[in-house]
Copies of this chain bind each other. A is one copy, B any other.
Amino acid sequence: MAKKSLIARYIPISRWAPHYTGANLMDDSVAALIVAIMLIPQSLGLALVAGLPPETGLYASIFGLAVYSVFGTSNTLSVAPVAVISLMTAAALAKLPIEDPAEILNAAFVLALLSGIGLFFLGLFRLGFMANFLSHPVISAFVTASALIIGMSQLKHLFGIESEGHNLIGLGLSLLESIHQTNLIALGLGIVSIGFILWCKARMEWLLVKIGLPSYFAKVVSRTGPVFIVIASSLVAYIWRLDLYGLQLLGEIPSGIPKFKAPLIDAELFSSLIGSAALIAIIGFVESISVAQTMAAKRRERIDLDQELVGLGSANIVTSFFGGFPVSGGFSRSVVNFDAGAATPAAGLITAILVTVVASFFTPLLFWLPKVSLAAIILVAVVPLIDFSMLRRSWQYSKADFTAVFFTLTLTLLVGVEFGIAAGVLASVLIHLYKTSKPHVAVVGRVAGSEHFRNVKRHNVETFENLLSIRIDESLYFANTRYLEELIFKLVSRQPKVEHVILMFTAVNAVDMSALETLTKINDTLSELGISLHLSEVKGPIMDRLQPTDFIKYLSGNCYLSQNRAVEALKDTEMPLSSLQ
């Protein structure tokens, strides 16, 4: 029983495969075909984004999809190369002091292996919550900046020139240097390709429906624009021998899929890549589960975050042994899979088989594919990721979030992807700690004739000269205890006749050890001043935890179940003070 449930938990395919039906196979096959048509040119282009030979994109797709379908919990997530992760791979490899293409390729495998192992163990130890430390605005800013850099990096193919760099400035300067060598054939082909793909996306579906095709069929065909471009541009290049006019072609690609081969790893490579691998793992995971959760929720399905880590980790580990670079769940591809009706993870497996067929038999045809066509496909794919509205929206909603967005965006663009995302995470954590380090605290008084207590600054309430009632609207933890201590003594020093301080714990959901020590210190110091400290309305779980501590043992005052009981017990005059401050 225990064994069976362990298998069911860690190998989700064992849950759905026994119930797999012919209808499922039909649905999955259709979805798989559509995804494969979209994926093949994309994965070739993303391999170029990563600075690797194009075939590695195919290998990464095959093993990413196949392994995830065994270990993943999402029915529709499509795990293969994605734009942001490919860019991060390029940035990580560019840092290495190596030039030999074979060594660079090996480093890409090591990167996939390390990030896969990281994801796998986070999943085994159920540490999926780590992904929560990336805030949405930071991710959004990072994706926007990455898409801009990818777009910029593709311009060299569009102009048929060389350029280098891993941030906007480097890429821009490099492009300007050689823009005078622009190959007009590449540029023309690129512009026509982009125009055609955009037209397909925007108008083809409408047109096909208009000429009488079924709407579903029209939708599918309208997505095949990139494949038309691949075929048409290859034909054009072949017929007119455009390579003789300087057009860069994809060139020779080996047939078949590589044999199992362990990446070569030494201590130096390990320490150079471990940081990048960690960032790739966390960004890949966050992207994947955002997509997977959205799609699962739409069908009232559930995904298991920790098992997703195991699934993504396994996909990357296996990929690294078969000539692939880091993979992740891509947004647009997964949405296509979802819309096309993928019913189970088998759709991914079938896509993998289709890509294998292409890698085995059709690579000679890819020889004539112009690089500029792939660049056009990638450009059109990444532009929708660029979303500057986050700057405006966060500015309007919260300056704190805006700060994190601004840092992430500018540092990613100007310095690079790794620095940018690290700065973004740090900024959002610091900002969060800062915000909660100054909790909202109100001096409260009683609404006359009632048992309700309200902020003396906002309401006309009765207060007593010998009482100071303070309501704390935040959990107490290390980052805000000093503020609390300072505030209480500031309030005490302003109210010279005070004999009792009552802390109202209505909104206190936690009290950590730092807060406990601070409360103890406040109690001691108030005692020396002849002032008693009382608590009111402490929640059950907090009281359970405080009860056995010395703080409660030596508390100079009492714990009251309600603020009103505290005030009734402690007030020494019926004369309310003025509540005006």
Contacts and interface: CB of A to CB of B under 8 A. Distances in A.
Interface of A: 129, 131-138, 289, 293-294, 296-298, 300-302, 305, 393-394, 396-398, 400-401, 428-429, 432-440, 473-475, 477-483, 485-486, 489-490, 492-493, 507, 509-510, 512-514, 516-518, 521, 525, 528-529, 545, 548-549
Contacts of A513: 135-137, 393-394, 397-398, 401
A312 to B, nearest CB: 16
B400 A512 contact: yes
A89 to B, nearest CB: 25
Closest 10 CB pairs of A and B: A135-B478, A401-B513, A136-B514, A135-B514, A132-B479, A297-B525, A136-B517, A297-B489, A137-B513, A132-B437
A305 B438 CA distance: 14
A36 to B, nearest CB: 27
A136 B518 contact: yes
A293 B486 contact: yes
11 contacts: A129-B434, A297-B525, A298-B525, A300-B493, A301-B493, A397-B549, A401-B512, A432-B477, A432-B478, A507-B507, A507-B509
A375 to B, nearest CB: 32
Contacts of A483: 129, 132
A461 B398 CA distance: 38
A45 B100 CA distance: 57
A111 B440 CA distance: 38
Contacts of A134: 478
Interface SS of chain A: helix, strand, loop or mixed?
A: helix
A390 to B, nearest CB: 8
A398 B136 contact: no
Contacts of A512: 135, 398, 400-401, 432
Contacts of A129: 434, 437-438, 479, 483
Contacts of A485: 293, 297
A529 B299 CA distance: 8
A492 B429 CA distance: 31
Contacts of A428: 478
A492 B298 CA distance: 12
B137 A509 contact: no
Nearest to A492: B300
Contacts of A434: 129
Contacts of A296: 489
A434 to B, nearest CB: 6
A514 B402 CA distance: 11
A532 to B, nearest CB: 15
A324 to B, nearest CB: 28
Nearest to A397: B513
A425 to B, nearest CB: 10
A533 to B, nearest CB: 13
A132 B475 CA distance: 15
A136 B400 CA distance: 26
Contacts of A480: 132
Contacts of A301: 493
Contacts of A401: 512-514
B528 A298 contact: yes
Nearest to A296: B489
Nearest to A127: B434
Given A396-B548, A398-B545, A512-B400, A478 B529 contact: no
Contact of A433 (B429, B478, B514): B429
Contacts of A437: 129, 132
A297 B398 CA distance: 35
A433 B545 contact: no
**In the complex, which of the residues A435, A489, A510, A512 has the most CB atoms of chain B within 10 Å of its own CB atom?**
A512
A302 B137 contact: no
Most buried by B among A135, A297, A440, A548: A297
Contacts of A482: 131-132, 289, 293, 305
A125 to B, nearest CB: 13
A327 B71 CA distance: 57
Nearest to A479: B132
A481 B135 CA distance: 9
A561 to B, nearest CB: 15
Given A134-B478, A293-B482, A302-B493, 12 more contacts: A129-B434, A129-B438, A132-B480, A133-B479, A136-B481, A300-B489, A300-B492, A301-B493, A432-B433, A432-B477, A432-B512, A507-B509
A133 to B, nearest CB: 6
Given A489-B300, A490-B302, A474 B132 contact: no
